[in-house]
Amino acid sequence: MDDVRIDPRTSSVRGLWDRVLEHVRRNVQPKQFDLWFRQIEILDAGDGSVTLEVPNRFFRDWVNTYYRDEIAEAVALETGSPCEVRFLVKRDAPVPERIPSRPPSAPSDGSAGRLEVRPALRAPLMSTSQLNPRYSFESFVVGPRNQVAHAAALAIAERPSELYNPLFVHGSVGLGKTHILQAICHATLERRPETRIAYITCEMFVNAFISAIESGGLKEFRYQYRAVDLLVVDDIHFLAHKDRTQEEFFHTFNTLFNGQRQIVLSSDCPPQAIGTLEERLVSRFRWGLVAEVEPPVFETRVSILKRNGVRFGVDLRDDVCEFIASHVTTNIRELEGSIHQVVNYARLRGRPVDLEAAREALPHLVNDPRRAASLEDITRVVTSYFGVKVSDVLGKRRTKLVTYPRQISMYIARKLTPHSLQEIGGYFGGRDHTTVLHAINKIGGLVKAKSEVRNQLDHFLTVLR
């Protein structure tokens, strides 16, 4: 870029910005482009930098965090050299009013009351640049083990805050919780593009809260999350052991709920199983609907594979889908990764996507005797046998009805998987290695002493191998 300051009033600098926007438009969803980029004006270009004017601080922070690289890359393409992107806030931009820690009419613990925000000061659409366009309701495969969560999510997209508020979706890793949450966001924006949405992970919320404390920006932080129409938080179990953040989220929850705004949460476990979670938060998380998402049945797994085949432009044969679905039983993400691996393997070798190609592309499904026994597989088989819930075995309950299946599961996990004692304990409700070792020793003793336990164990090992 020439080291000459360009008058922003000239057509040259405006033309540069128009061309930059054309590059950005190709990489950003239309709704995101209209929301964030149409309000940006170019002020200056030259000296190896571009200066842009944005409406307010929130706008600046968001664009700076999520779109700076897109803009810098587009400018470099147009000018032929790297440049620095700078943002300036309009001097006359309105500053949000101070947000009280609790509304005047609320009780002293801040548990009630609605945050009143003037229309002109409402928070902008937030965080939706993280949405995956594939995670829509149209691409979600509904099965008997996710029907409730799916139906509730659809109802929320159509009538937010009327039926299920909050919606709390829980289940193990890779079962589609994030897909459901993002589908709600996509459908909401299609129906009501003006909706202010905050789609974040709990880790993002925690980190933003810590940064706000360190920088003295709690007022802006609270405004950002309490002035939205829809708050969607993935992995809310990350709140465990974070007392001060729990306090902040408690008041954020109350502000939104009492303002009749929708809250959607996801977790690896039900509210009551989240370690050290305050009872008042557990109670509020259960106010609406708690919906569990469980591992898909065989037919659902085949449907998921078929749909992914279409996405890759391949009409998958039944035997290929059945082969993968028979071996990958508990994780949708792994199902999708497996079919992707098979399709790429076949295409690189110019071969049809058939059963032989699937076996060659996924040799670990055929040759690794441990592959059929993941922690999820073991838990599913054992809990099904004893008629208890997976969430109870992975949770904090210590009744005999739950403790014995948990100990059996730990014993088998140590026998059939490469996981360490610490890893096994972490999976079974965050327990330490001594708890796992105690379970192994106890079940080992019962196996030697009781034929009934030996028979149970033989049954589990036969199924899992």
Residues 185-233 have pLDDT tens digits of 999 998 888 889 999 999 999 999 999 999 888 888 998 898 899 999 9
So what's the pLDDT on residue 145?
85
Task: Find the CATH number of the domain harbouring 41.
Answer: 3.30.300.180
Do 276 and 359 fall into the same domain?
Answer: no
103-107: long-range contacts at Cβ-Cβ below 8 A with a sequence spacing of 24 or more? 106/254
So what's the pLDDT on residue 124?
41
Do 444 and 309 fall into the same domain?
Answer: no
| Domain stops at, among 275, 292, 309 | 292
- Cβ atoms 435, 425 nearer than 8 A: yes
Asked if residue 105 belongs to a domain, the reply is no
Q: Among 250-259, 304-313, 374-383, 416-425, where is mean pLDDT lowest?
A: 416-425
Instruction: Kindly state the average pLDDT of the residues 451-464.
Output: 82
Q: Residue 75: is its pLDDT beyond 90? A: no
Partners of 52 in beta bridges:
42, 87
So what's the pLDDT on residue 97?
35
Cα-to-chain-centroid distance, residue 169:
11
Asked if residue 107 belongs to a domain, the reply is no
Do 161 and 284 fall into the same domain?
Answer: yes
Into how many domains does the chain fold?
4
| Domain stops at, among 325, 340, 367 | 367
Do 398 and 344 fall into the same domain?
Answer: no
Q: What single DSSP character describes residue 198?
A: E
Do 259 and 349 fall into the same domain?
Answer: no
So what's the pLDDT on residue 229?
92
Do 352 and 399 fall into the same domain?
Answer: no
Confidence of residue 401 (pLDDT cuts 50, 70, 90): confident
Average pLDDT over the chain reads 81
**More confident: 107 or 149:** 149
Give the tokens for residue 78: 């147009």
Do 173 and 279 fall into the same domain?
Answer: yes
Name the phi and psi angles at 232, rounded to 5.
-120, 120
Confidence of residue 367 (pLDDT cuts 50, 70, 90): low
Residue written as token pair 């008041």: 251
So what's the pLDDT on residue 182?
94
High-pLDDT (> 90) share of the chain, %: 26
Q: Residue 434: is its pLDDT beyond 50? A: yes
Q: What residues contact residue 363 under an 8 Å CB cut-off, 6+ apart?
A: none
Q: Residue 125: is its pLDDT beyond 50? A: no
Instruction: Kindly state the average pLDDT of the residues 306-324.
Output: 87
| Domain enclosing residue 413, as ranges | 375-464
Confidence of residue 247 (pLDDT cuts 50, 70, 90): very high
Q: How far apart are CA 183 and CA 204, in angstroms?
A: 20
So what's the pLDDT on residue 11?
53
* pTM of the complete model beyond 0.85: no
Q: What residues contact residue 178 under an 8 Å CB cut-off, 6+ apart?
A: 135, 234, 266
So what's the pLDDT on residue 181?
95
Do 21 and 156 fall into the same domain?
Answer: no
Residues 418-431 have pLDDT tens digits of 777 888 888 898 88
Confidence of residue 100 (pLDDT cuts 50, 70, 90): very low
Asked if residue 45 belongs to a domain, the reply is yes
Do 363 and 398 fall into the same domain?
Answer: no
| Domain stops at, among 65, 89, 113 | 89
Q: Residue 108: is its pLDDT beyond 70? A: no
β-strands 49-54, 230-234: how paired? unpaired
Asked if residue 57 belongs to a domain, the reply is yes
Do 239 and 333 fall into the same domain?
Answer: no
Residue written as token pair 């440049």: 83
So what's the pLDDT on residue 118?
34
**More confident: 104 or 88:** 88
Asked if residue 115 belongs to a domain, the reply is no
Residues 162-176 have pLDDT tens digits of 889 999 999 888 889
Q: Residue 359: is its pLDDT beyond 70? A: yes
- Cβ atoms 93, 99 nearer than 8 A: no
At 48 the three-state DSSP class reads: coil
Asked if residue 98 belongs to a domain, the reply is no
Task: Find the CATH number of the domain harbouring 149.
Answer: 3.40.50.300
Residues composing the chain: 465
Instruction: Kindly state the average pLDDT of the residues 273-293.
Output: 91
